[in-house]
A and B are shown apart, each in its own frame.
Chain A
């Protein structure tokens, strides 16, 4: 890449990951599963990327590698040109300011014994020293950005509904002003009407705060709604990627076509 073109916000190069399975026989080496078999992906700042695929296709493995929560077997993860796996522990921690994650289960991802302001402020607090008052103020600002009031600061997670908890998780991800948010099935556990609220919130953050999402979901319609580009994964590989409109109208891979066909759409195919 020449010096004039800015590096991609996120780039993965031939990313592979295999996991060792429990040994089946004493006489044979333990079997391995190849969760990712060479994934190359480029995400430009401002163009959110959606990843769709069925369970076992490697979507969540990709998310964990992008977040540097695991080391890949081979390949590189580059965030603005820096290889995350080449960074030292302190550098990596500092780099985490730029990329945050929102998890699937809003019931499991918030510490039930901590007040909300601590949970929300934590990512920033680990990066820089801040007084309790400062932390609370910043947490309040983030909560406001996701549509929750100050009164949420001193509450505990159990006092909130699923949709509100997911907002809190998003506020926590926002507090370091990240450039990239990896959302792994972040709206899948929510009811349709709540899901719509959270998707609207994410769209606002994308438009107003300049956050780019790597949005992982099994639901093509949800991914398409939020993202500019989409990549379809199957069996540890990206089988198709491109702008949403193009993938929806001219799917080239059989699996993409099957995915499109299985989305229940407007009354066309109704029995009567």
Chain B
């Protein structure tokens, strides 16, 4: 039995404009020690997926399908039961440590809170554990810093504190939603290195969410590429990053300025961009969400759901025009 398994997971958002299918047909399974990356641009549904995994989807969201933790169905679980799981068996590292930490409480108390709630530790024992955790995540002089407030730490340190909080109860699944977006590049690498190390050390499963393909590829075994609420490509990180198949994945990779490329190309060379803009979730085509922006679009793309093309046991993408797409050697994205 997998540790965490999602099947046909779907999130619908009810708004005054109608219902928007924010996440459709999400499926994956994670064993202990597995690392999974979820990538896509704003509005693709990756953060909504993360919230649904933690039972934190907003009031106006309806989560359907199946999500099982060690066989226990989590979709539709009452709040009371979710509270026993969140922070204890599944934990999340949020995007902005500045806002996710409570500014009026000392960090020690914030790290100790889940320990006291879930583990029933005494104040003293929880404090001792909190100091050990701070030390583990690399905060210097943890015994002194434990009584400091969040504003007394740097951005990178705050993210380390968030990680300590998430790890406090030794969760089985760790979900990290853009854990390093607000940080400097050199600090980014340290934080991701720390997360990777801890995941390996404790045998947790990791879901790493980011808009940065390169960053994710370096830190996970498998990844899912999301577009318009659906997974368009998934597979081993090396294959998806090394031989991206879906036109969207290729466009995304090509659009990123690259240092290696800069050394060869003249500086007036243009970046290949993806034509058009992200589709409105209220007006998604019934077929492929990328239809219309994709250089290979044919009339059936928008109306019929794309078939899944299995390139290898570890690399699958959804595309109606797979044959043409796979034979195209040039960059997929149209130049604007």
Closest A-B pairs by Cβ, 4 of them: A264-B214, A225-B257, A196-B255, A54-B184
Q: A-contacting residues of B (Cβ < 8 Å)? A: 41-42, 155, 184-189, 211-215, 217-221, 236-238, 241-242, 251-252, 255-260, 262-263, 267-268, 270-274, 277, 333, 336
Known: A193-B252, A271-B218. A265 touches B259 (CB 8 A): yes
- Do A248 and B259 have beta carbons less than 8 Å apart? yes
Check if B185 sits within 8 Å of A265, measured CB to CB. no
The stretch of A3-11, A70-78, A151-159, A215-223 that contacts the partner chain: A215-223
Among B252, B259, B277, point to the contact of A221 (Cβ < 8 A): B259
CB contacts (< 8 Å) of A220 on chain B: these are 185, 259
Contact between chains at B259 and A260 (CB < 8 Å): yes
Indicate if the CB atoms of B185 and A226 lie closer than 8 Å. Answer: no
Q: Write the residues of chain A forming the contact surface with B, with a CB cutoff of 8 angstroms.
A: 54-55, 161-163, 191-197, 199-200, 203, 207, 218-222, 224-228, 244-245, 248-249, 258-267, 269-272
Given A199-B271, A272-B236, A266 and B258 contact (CB-CB distance below 8 Å): yes
A192 touches B260 (CB 8 A): no
- With A224-B262, A264-B215 as contacts: A193 and B186 at CB distance below 8 Å: no
Chain A residues with CB below 8 A from B186, complex form: 54, 258-259, 262
Residues in chain B near residue A248, CB distance under 8 A: 259, 262-263
Cβ–Cβ contact A193 & B258, under 8 A: no
Q: Which residues of A contact B333 (CB under 8 A)?
A: 193
Residues of chain B with a CB closer than 8 A to A263's CB: 185, 259
| Residues A271 and B221 in contact, CB atoms below 8 Å apart | yes
Closest CB-CB distance, B281 to chain A, in whole Å?
14
A270: shortest Cβ distance to chain B, in Å?
5
Given A192-B255, A207-B268, A272-B236: A221 and B262 within 8 A (CB)? Answer: yes
A227 neighbours in B (Cβ, 8 Å): 267
Decide: B255 and A267 in contact? CB cutoff 8 A: no
CA distance A199 to B186 in the complex (A): 23
Contacts of A55 in B (CB 8 A): 155, 184
Taking a contact as CB atoms under 8 Å apart, the answer to whether A264 and B218 are in contact is yes
A191–B258 contact, CB under 8 A? no
Q: A261 to B238, alpha carbons, bound, how many Å?
A: 19
Chain A residues with CB under 8 A of B256: 192, 196, 221
Distance to closest chain A CB from B297 (angstroms): 16
The answer to whether B273 and A203 have CB atoms under 8 Å apart is no
